[in-house]
Structure 1
Amino acid sequence: MNEYKKFARRFLGLELVFIGIANLIYYIWIADPEPVIRKLQEKTDTIYKVFYNRTDYRTWILMDIALGILFFMSVFLVTYMKKKIIKPFHRMEHLTEELAKGNLSMPIPAEKSQYLGRFLWGMDMLRNTLEDNKEKQLQLQKEKKTLILSLTHDIKTPLSAIRLYVRVLEEGLYTTEEKCVEAYHGIEKNVKEIEDYVSEITEASREDFLHLTVDPGEVYLSTVIEAIRMLYEDKLGQLHVSFGIQAYTDCLLKGDPDRLIEVLQNLLENAVKYGDGERVNLSFGEEEDCILIHVLNSGCTLKAEELVNLFDSFYRGSNAGSAKGSGLGLYISRQLMRKMDGEVYAEIQEQDFVVTMVVRKV
């Protein structure tokens, strides 16, 4: 804020200096009070006349009025920028720092400015989303710990029973065959109980722990593709990756527009990350009442037998190497597409890797 004030003072000061210099130049070169004697020829007589130059005050005044108007327009512009842009930015300069620190409970004040209103509204949406995700994460951790504590307590009982049966059999305390058979059956029963607990843990781990939601709606294919073009044309150009989008026939699709773009982004990010960096293409097809969007990248090193596990949560293929990732991108993509009554699948075509989005048409 102080830097802007210094800039404004210097800018307006320079304008005043410019106005002063303009007036000085006009006074020196135009305002000449000295008389001028000129020789004139009239028929056969030669006469001399004295001309007195008068200062052209009208032009001078008009010039000063014009310069004054420009100066006051500059004052208005500087003041307007301070009120509508600089001050709102000054008030929110701490917001990004607070968000980075994890302070998500602090509301972002609304701003009616046509320049920053939508920006602040988006920032507040981001804060709310981060806060909701944080609460969900904390709740998930709580449920996870509760489940672990509960299962740990429950498993102790059959384990103790198995340990007791083993000790009795080891020390030969059961002298009859019937007692030994009873002990074996007891061990088998408790092993089955432990297996049930393990199955419960496995089933719980397969639940939709990300709480993915979609907002059903309709969107034109061109809207989705143009959004992707804007996001990736320059980015892939800077990476020197050939990026092509095949011609397509526009149509109305069923689904959440934001989620469709998110899925396509996930597929393109994977294409860039795990391809050979030479070529990424988007092509299209139709099948009954669906549009097929194919994302192809060159240089596939994934093994064909890995395709069946590729959309599992936390699974990373053998081609991942040292590339950073969580193994959730394709899992999230499939879950989102299924929630929108669509699908996504992958295949290997010669040396190219192709992931296909199946999107319902309206």
Structure 2
Amino acid sequence: MKKLVSAVIAFALVIIGITTGFVIEHGNSHDKTGEYAVELNEIERLIEQGDTDTAIIRTKQMREAMRTENADNINISIIIMGSICLIFLLSVGGYCYFTVIRPFGRLTGFAERVAQGDLETPLEYERTNLFGKFTWAFDSMRKEILRARTCEQEAIENNKTVIASLSHDIKTPISTVRAYAEAMEMGMSRAEDREKYVSVIIRKCDEVAQLTEDILAHSLSDLDKLRMHPEVFELNGFLEDLLADLNTQNDIIFEKPSYTIYMNADRNRLSQAVENLITNARKYAGTNIDVHINCDENNAYITFHDSGEGVPDEDMPFIFGKFYRGKNTNGEKGSGLGLFIVKYIVCQSGGDVRARNNNGFEVTLTLPVYEE
């Protein structure tokens, strides 16, 4: 509002200056002072000569001429001032329209669109007009509402991802339990192996129970990520026992290194990652699975390699994405979460995952070693 008042005062001063110039110029252009002086001298000379009648007539004529000229000057001044005032009012009205009315109209339309749920259309604003700061604040509010809605949608998607990933992880121990149970039912196991099978089945049931608790905890506390519970353990022995439990089809080839490697990670989550990789290799490759461990001063490298067809090059950049399934699934059922879960667990453990085609498909887990 201060800008508007300052603009009106400045414009009024300009108009006054222009009006004064017009009046002065008009007065100068019609100045007949010299003519009236000559006329007065003629009247005085007639009076001196005794011709008073003529002097009176000439005096009346001069007065009438002066009155007519003054009236003309007043009329012209009124016309000029009226025109200038009209121009001034039109200018003020135009200024008010472009600086107040039109921006307020745009702001009203924008508020109506926001009320109808349209948060994508931005509000164009200029900080130099009267509503500049207000429109900027209004558009910032729109962005905050849009950001809040986006975060809410992301939270919903995260919830779906967690539920889907936990449900996916339940399938792996269930399939192991089923395989051992079928072997025992068909009498394919020896008497001395049955105790081992029962122990594996019990352990896998415990894993299912733990995953079920994760689903319950997620639904109760609205978790957006799986919880990790790291502990120190020896990697080679852990992996040997885990792969022995998973080797129901005698298709896993693993040679335990002679040295020891200690990790500080979540054993259950790392078991899920390994089981997902084994399950994927069986489902999509159907070949033997070679598992190797290498180590340097900082990291341990666990490599899983099958002899299948591998992953198409165009799918390789996306295989760790949520719900992504490649073109070579060959009708196999799946949720597209296996490798996503593997990468998440390994990254949460401070490591990384790499995949490549190398006469088959090869996945390498990089995990930091534990140093006391």
**Taking CA–CA contacts closer than 8 Å with sequence separation of 6 or more, which of the two structures ends up with the larger relative contact order?**
2
Q: Comparing both structures, which one devotes a greater share of its residues to helix?
A: 2
TM-score tier after normalising by the smaller chain length? 0.3 to 0.5
Bigger Rg over Cα? 2
TM-score by length of 1: 0.43
